[in-house]
């Protein structure tokens, strides 16, 4: 995180219009933010990469192309294609679990795919001998079969062609990467790209690497700037805060930023991507909650822990808007305009270890 640049930006933070929604007597402040230009360009590029992989699939089947190709929508596409392939492949094949179950099942499968071999028998036997696994995929002849243990039997059915399945999984990973880019979290996006098994192809890694280099030249993450501004104000008042986000990568980035930036006060700020677990913890009281990644479900959870107010960071015209209003109640839409802004941060407000990095003339 570019801590010095973030603090410098906080010092000149202008007042922004925010919306206040009151439900269960807990005010919720929507902090509207703008996605930096380079990030918006990258998100558009990733959307095009997803479109190039899935739009032809929709058209071939005369299915309507969704307006937004989200992870959720692509998951529905994958499930529909799997059901289609299962029906085309003749439905299920099964065998009673026993000493010869693997061989018996593979003999039956060989009528559907002549490339089922002794190696496939070994794969099925490993699956049967592992009590922890309830389902597995095996590949043969460019096809894949889904296997599942079910009531003393092993059931198998033909899945998608391996190349088509891989194409959809790449699209899903790219859509997830777009979500991360739209939150402005470059470090989390890089981590996801490096860990995703669907994005390991050399040409893909090269394209994404160039994109990340391009993004690194942009201004600081607007959500982190807003987070720093709010925490600086909460630090003055000695308030305990809970920051809620999505994903382990984003959580780790936020935790590191707060620890490095706020020193001793960081002990009064918890960060989680599993708020339900925090709501269930005894003797954990928070004054304020900050939704780094907004969702209606998280708001309901935070009401239950009795915070004084909830701040929601929303980068307009991105996934934030979709997630925030996805299942919103009727009263959530009846908002009234209110202004929230921290005091302009002065040189003396910064922690000593970072004040030296901020130009007093800014």
What confidence tens digit (pLDDT) does each residue in 121-133 have?
888 888 888 888 8
Q: Is residue 83 part of a domain?
A: yes
> In which domain, by residue range, is 119 found?
75-160
Q: Is residue 294 part of a domain?
A: yes
73 contacts 51 by C-beta, under 8 angstroms: no
Same domain (yes/no): 242, 113: no
Predicted confidence (pLDDT) at residue 168 exceeds the cutoff of 90: yes
**Pick from 160, 175, 198: which residue ends a domain?**
160
Among 272, 273, 254, 252, CA closest to 262: 254
Same domain (yes/no): 45, 107: no
Q: Is residue 68 part of a domain?
A: no
| Whole-angstrom distance, CA of residue 42 vs CA of residue 49 | 11
How much is the average pLDDT of 51-63? 92
| Whole-angstrom distance, CA of residue 272 vs CA of residue 74 | 27
Q: Tell me, what's the pLDDT at 110? A: 77
What tens digit of pLDDT does each residue of 175-199 get?
999 988 888 778 888 888 888 888 9
**Pick from 181, 215, 249: which residue ends a domain?**
215
Q: Is residue 244 part of a domain?
A: yes
Q: Tell me, what's the pLDDT at 340? A: 42
Same domain (yes/no): 230, 290: yes
Exposed, middle or buried, 296 (CB in 10 Å: 0-12/13-18/19+)? middle
DSSP character string of 190-252: HHHHHH-GGG-SHHHHHHHHHHHHHHTTSPPPHHHHHHHHHHHHHHHHT--EEEE-SSHHHHH
Q: Where are the beta strands (DSSP E) in the chain?
A: 16-23, 26-33, 93-96, 135-140, 143-150, 153-161, 241-244, 269-272, 288-291, 309-315, 336-340
What tens digit of pLDDT does each residue of 306-336 get?
777 888 888 888 877 776 655 444 444 444 4
What tens digit of pLDDT does each residue of 208-249 get?
989 988 888 877 788 888 898 889 888 888 999 999 988 888
Same domain (yes/no): 182, 235: no
Which pTM was predicted? 0.70
How much is the average pLDDT of 283-311? 77
| Whole-angstrom distance, CA of residue 362 vs CA of residue 352 | 17
Reading phi first (left if > 0) and then psi (alpha if -120 to 50, else beta), residue 62 is in left
pLDDT band at 147 (very low <50, low <70, confident <90, very high): confident
Lowest mean pLDDT among 21-30, 35-44, 56-65: 21-30
Predicted confidence (pLDDT) at residue 16 exceeds the cutoff of 90: no
Same domain (yes/no): 234, 263: yes
Q: Is residue 22 part of a domain?
A: yes
Same domain (yes/no): 175, 243: no
Distance of CA 150 to the CA centre of its chain: 32
| Whole-angstrom distance, CA of residue 73 vs CA of residue 95 | 34
Higher pLDDT: 113 or 97? It is 97
Same domain (yes/no): 262, 334: yes
Lowest mean pLDDT among 18-32, 64-78, 322-336: 322-336
Q: Tell me, what's the pLDDT at 167? A: 92
Q: Is residue 67 part of a domain?
A: no
Residue 97 DSSP SS3 = coil
Residues in Cβ contact with 289 at an 8 Å cutoff, skipping those fewer than 6 apart: 241, 242, 243, 244, 302, 305, 307, 309, 310, 311
Same domain (yes/no): 49, 196: yes
Q: Is residue 300 part of a domain?
A: yes
Q: Is residue 69 part of a domain?
A: no
Same domain (yes/no): 323, 210: no
Same domain (yes/no): 245, 349: yes
Two structure tokens written together for 193: 């790209």
**CA 146, 69, 50: angle at the middle one, nearest 5?**
80
Which contacts of 337-340 are long-range, i.e. CB under 8 A and separated by 24 or more positions?
A: 337/17, 337/18, 337/19, 337/20, 338/18, 338/19, 338/20, 338/29, 339/15, 339/16, 339/17, 339/18, 340/16, 340/18, 340/20, 340/29, 340/31
Residues in Cβ contact with 317 at an 8 Å cutoff, skipping those fewer than 6 apart: 35
C-alpha distances out from residue 168 to 53, 55, 58, 180, 250, Å: 7, 11, 12, 19, 24
Same domain (yes/no): 300, 322: yes
**Pick from 179, 196, 215: which residue ends a domain?**
215
Same domain (yes/no): 51, 190: yes
- Specify the CATH number for the domain of residue 320: 3.40.50.300
Two structure tokens written together for 206: 């090269």
What is the tally of structural domains in the chain? Answer: 3
How much is the average pLDDT of 87-104? 78
């Amino acid at each position: 995180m570019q801590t010095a640049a973030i603090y410098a930006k906080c010092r000149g933070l202008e007042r922004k219009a925010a919306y206040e929604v009151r439900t269960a007597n807990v005010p919720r402040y929507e902090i509207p933010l703008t996605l930096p230009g380079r990030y918006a360009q990258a998100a558009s590029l990733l959307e095009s990469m997803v479109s190039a992989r899935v739009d032809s699939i929709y058209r071939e089947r005369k299915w309507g192309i969704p307006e937004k190709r989200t992870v959720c929508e692509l998951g529905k596409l994958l499930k529909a294609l799997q059901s289609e392939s299962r029906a085309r492949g003749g439905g299920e094949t099964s065998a009673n679990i026993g000493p010869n179950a693997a061989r018996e099942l593979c003999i039956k499968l060989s009528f559907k795919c002549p490339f089922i071999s002794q190696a496939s028998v070994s794969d099925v036997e490993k699956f049967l001998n592992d009590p922890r696994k309830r389902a597995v995929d095996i590949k043969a002849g460019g096809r894949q079969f889904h296997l599942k243990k079910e009531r003393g039997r092993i059931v198998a059915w033909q899945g998608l062609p391996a190349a088509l399945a891989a194409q959809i999984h790449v699209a899903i990973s790219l859509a997830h990467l777009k979500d991360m880019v739209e939150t402005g979290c470059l470090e989390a996006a890089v981590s996801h790209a490096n860990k995703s098994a669907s994005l390991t192809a050399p040409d893909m890694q090269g394209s994404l690497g160039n994109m990340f280099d391009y993004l690194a030249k942009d201004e600081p993450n607007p959500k982190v700037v807003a987070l720093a501004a709010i925490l600086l104000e909460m630090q003055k008042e000695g308030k305990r805060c809970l920051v809620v986000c999505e994903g382990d990568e984003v959580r780790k980035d936020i935790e590191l930023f707060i620890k490095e930036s706020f020193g001793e006060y960081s002990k009064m700020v918890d960060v989680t991507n599993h708020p339900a677990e925090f709501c269930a913890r005894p003797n954990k009281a928070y004054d304020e909650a900050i939704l780094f990644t907004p969702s209606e479900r998280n708001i309901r959870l935070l009401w239950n822990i009795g915070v004084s107010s909830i701040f929601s960071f929303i980068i307009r015209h991105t996934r934030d808007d979709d997630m925030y209003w996805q299942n919103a109640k009727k009263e959530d839409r009846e908002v009234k305009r209110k202004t929230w802004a921290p005091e302009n941060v002065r040189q003396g407000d910064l922690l000593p270890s970072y004040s030296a990095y901020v130009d007093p003339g800014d």
